[in-house]
Amino acid sequence: MAHYPHPLIAREGWPFLAGCVAVAAVATAVAGWWSAPFWLAALFVLQFFRDPPREVPQGEGLVLAPADGRIVQVGAARDDYLGRDAVKVSVFMNVFNVHSNRAPVDGTVENVWYFPGKFVNADLDKASTDNERNAVHFRTGAGVDVTSVQVAGLIARRILCYVGKGDRLARGDRYGFIRFGSRVDVYLPPGSTPKVAIGDRVSATSTVLAHLPGY
């Protein structure tokens, strides 16, 4: 099993899971088998906050998936955070996906920007510009810039980011979490080669999204 310094159930979920189990236990004592819906709710919370270890692919110039989910956009776009043209790859996470966010590349955090916004369906392209979001600018050791943007969704109401300017991360390192449905946009420099297509299912860290230019 890959080394992983975090619990298998994300610590962000502990209060929710404890509350659901406590309510279900009380319901069981009071109502017996009528408490089944409360236990189902606890099971849902348990699966939502799972945070399994992942093997990290080895190789130069790899960009890894920052989240579990389905690819909803691949192609040319404008990276407004860095003011450049880019290749954009977007991953949509539904409520049954793992919502832990991982660094897509080895690099140093150059900037972190938070933007308040709306909560439209994260499956829609306009979510990238209209919704609440948090952008992290990574710079690799070779000087390549990659922007990873956590985007809130229709029922997501909390974006968590644990890194700041100057932090160094290895690809696959956990850097944030989004609660209850969301999206992550990755902006890559022109010339990057996508390795996924719209509709593909990807897994955080273990799926290669793209190769950076020159590799």
Which residue numbers are catalytic?
182
Take residue 154 and report the two structure tokens written for it: 């229709």
Which residue has 């979920």 as its token pair? 13
Take residue 114 and report the two structure tokens written for it: 């938070």
Burial class (CB in 10 A: 0-12, 13-18, 19+), 35: middle
The CA distance from 154 to 157, in Å, is 8
The CA distance from 187 to 63, in Å, is 10
- Which amino acid is present at 186? V
Closest CA to 3 of 39, 71, 52: 52
Would you state the torsion angle of the CA atoms of residues 83, 84, 85, 88, taken in this order, to the nearest 10 degrees? Answer: -70
The CA distance from 211 to 59, in Å, is 10
Beta bridge mates, 170 = none
The CA distance from 100 to 116, in Å, is 20
Q: What is the DSSP letter of 56?
A: P
Half-sphere exposure at residue 167, Cβ-oriented, CA atoms within 13 angstroms: 19
